[in-house]
Structure 1
């Protein structure tokens, strides 16, 4: 659905400005619409949970960690928006004991230290892999001091997406 919407918008823009590259514009629009719909879903959930700050924190943390650590993609952009929105909307209401948060954080730190970044698509290697590994590992380790259930949940879910479950 989001891919189709992005392509239709890109075609409309191309009609107004024929110099516009439809594929490039559609790709850019897909990324923006994905973020918009995920956040719209999460904020809609906030109407019932009143966890506005938690949703914003989970969104920002997920974007920072995901951008630096890579990870698997869901089969469609629409499914990604829905899953991300529900995840960001629900995570702030989850609470664990400090012991569980501690172990979740240790698990995430180990996974990020061993496997980050792990991209499951072709990309241009810009030489920042070691820096990104250090950044995500430090961010994850910082939760050992905060002991936040929200942060621990986002970290574990993202850590699971970078694990190489199958051989390439």
Structure 2
């Protein structure tokens, strides 16, 4: 299992919290709010609060990582074998999946144990163990309203030095 310190997200901040966990892993330490401000595409000028996230914030995460000198990839239709490959190289993977607690949700894959996938789940702020087959059934998200045209299947974002 990768040595990623779980982080409990603020409301609606699973993307920023996942980015924080991965960047902390690579030694680039900033707050959840810092990463949220980088990922957000609209900020209330009066309050400074994030009022809208880009529906494809995982792609924006990758652009930010690349601007910091990382290499990486965003893709759909990833396979469990690809997740295992990255983990075997000590590279964390951010997955976009459908969580019963959150709906569309980002978490960080940190390892595998037998038939289980291990996720640093920012909703709980701890490592979540899930049967890999159950995870595969939930590994999707929608960009916008739930409709086939808005469906993302098995999306991942990965960056590394």
TM-score (norm 1): 0.30
Which of the two has higher C-alpha Rg? 1
Instruction: Specify which structure has the higher proportion of helix.
Output: 1
Give TM-score scaled by structure 2 length: 0.30
More strand, by proportion: 2
